[in-house]
Structure 1
Amino acid sequence: MKTRDPEYDADEEYEYECLNCGEVVSAASYPGGCENCGSSMRNRGMPCE
């Protein structure tokens, strides 16, 4: 089975979702912790596997 890396554009904004409270933000780079609860964020465009 072949795998492929997702395409990446440094200028494009991506949606990030808080793993704890579900807050969603758009940003061009990883926003760090959630502004609401301080929990980790994940890029919604990447699978959770």
Structure 2
Amino acid sequence: MLSAIHVVLALGFFIAHRRDIVPTLTAPFRRIERESSDDDEPSNVVGAHA
């Protein structure tokens, strides 16, 4: 019975805070949008000589 109460409370908390929880859970799976640049090499590499 106690675990059923915990499940109900957890679902209520999830529904109440879904605007914060869902983006946090989906963030690792989002595609990274890269800015287009002319060269393929990064411009700020440590130890790179120009």
TM class by shorter chain equals under 0.3
User: Scaled by the length of structure 1, what TM-score is found?
Assistant: 0.23
Please tell me whether Structure 1 or Structure 2 has the larger radius of gyration of its CA atoms: 2
Q: Which has the higher helix share?
A: 2
The one of the two structures with greater contact order (alpha-carbon pairs below 8 A, sep at least 6) is 1
More strand by share: 1
